[in-house]
Amino acid sequence: MSTKTFLTIHGVIYIVFGLGLFFIPNLLWPNYGLELNDKYSVFLSQHTTIFLGGIAVISLLFRDVKEKSVYAKKILTGLLWTNILGVIITLYAIYTGIFYGFGWSDPIFFTLLSIVSYIKLKHNQ
């Protein structure tokens, strides 16, 4: 898979989740075992969209980076660490009992993105 394809897919995934957490948080979070009890918890979900959207925009803006360039290495390294943090934080949520139900899918999702990011990074060196 080319870097352009990888960054496009990565960006689209983050856009979809960001839009979901902004527009339908009351439908998504209960699947993970979380209740949104008030307008403040809904806002925090929507606030998360800032970061998800930012990662999506950065991924999409760097789609035309040249293969095996220092810039490709830097963006792929950043995405790899972002996804590794996702694995750690979502595993913590499961371990502490915050996430249950569909919550197991998040560490799997972030692990998959971490693996693909790592493979893509190694391919670009």
Other beta carbons within 10 Å of 73: 14
pLDDT tens for 87-96 read 999 999 999 9
Domain limits at 19? 3-123
Which pLDDT belongs to residue 4?
95
- Is 125's pLDDT higher than 90? no
Which pLDDT belongs to residue 31?
94
Q: What is the mean pLDDT of the chain?
A: 95
Q: CB within 8 A of 105, min separation 6: which ones?
A: none
Q: CB within 8 A of 118, min separation 6: which ones?
A: 80
pLDDT tens for 2-51 read 999 999 999 999 999 999 999 999 999 999 999 999 999 999 999 999 99
> How many structural domains compose the chain?
1
